[in-house]
Amino acid sequence: MKTKIADLEFEPLLSAEAIEERIKAIGIQISNDYKHVVPVFIGVLNGSFLFIADLIKQIEIPCEITFTKLASYYGGTKSTLKIRDDIDFAMDIKGRDVVVIEDIVDTGNTAHYLLEKLRIKQPASIKLCSLLLKPKALLKKIDELKYVGFEIENEFVVGYGLDYKEMGRNLKDIYKRVK
Ligand code: IMP
Nearest to 19 by CA among 53, 51, 62: 51
For residues 27-53, average pLDDT: 97
Number of CB atoms found within 10 A of residue 48's CB: 24
Spatial CB neighbours of 34, under 8 Å, sequence gap ≥ 6: 61, 63, 97, 99
* pLDDT for 74: 58
As for ligand 1, residues whose beta carbon falls within 6 Å of it are 47, 72-73, 79, 102-111, 156-158, 162
Q: Is the peptide bond before 109 cis (omega within 30 degrees of 0)?
A: no
* CATH code for the structural domain at 22-174: 3.40.50.2020
Residue type, 135: P
Tell which atom from ligand 1 comes closest to the C-alpha of 134: 16
* pLDDT for 41: 98
Give the C-alpha separation, 179 to 133, whole Å: 21
Tell which atom from ligand 1 comes closest to the C-alpha of 177: 19
Give the residue, by CA position, lying nearest to ligand 1 atom 19.
Answer: 156
Residue 79, pLDDT above cutoff 80: no
* pLDDT for 26: 98
* pLDDT for 1: 85
* pLDDT for 75: 63
pLDDT in tens, 1-12: 899 999 999 999
* pLDDT for 16: 98
Give the residue, by CA position, lying nearest to ligand 1 atom 5.
Answer: 106
Ligand 1 mean position, distance from CA 105 (Å): 6
Residue 145 vs residue 79, higher pLDDT = 145
* pLDDT for 85: 80
Nearest to 29 by CA among 94, 99, 95: 99
Parallel, antiparallel, or unpaired: how do β-strands 64-71 and 40-45 relate?
parallel
Ligand 1 mean position, distance from CA 154 (Å): 11
Give the C-alpha separation, 87 to 69, whole Å: 5
* pLDDT for 89: 80
The per-residue pLDDT of the chain, averaged, comes to 94
For residues 59-82, average pLDDT: 84
Residue 162, pLDDT above cutoff 90: yes
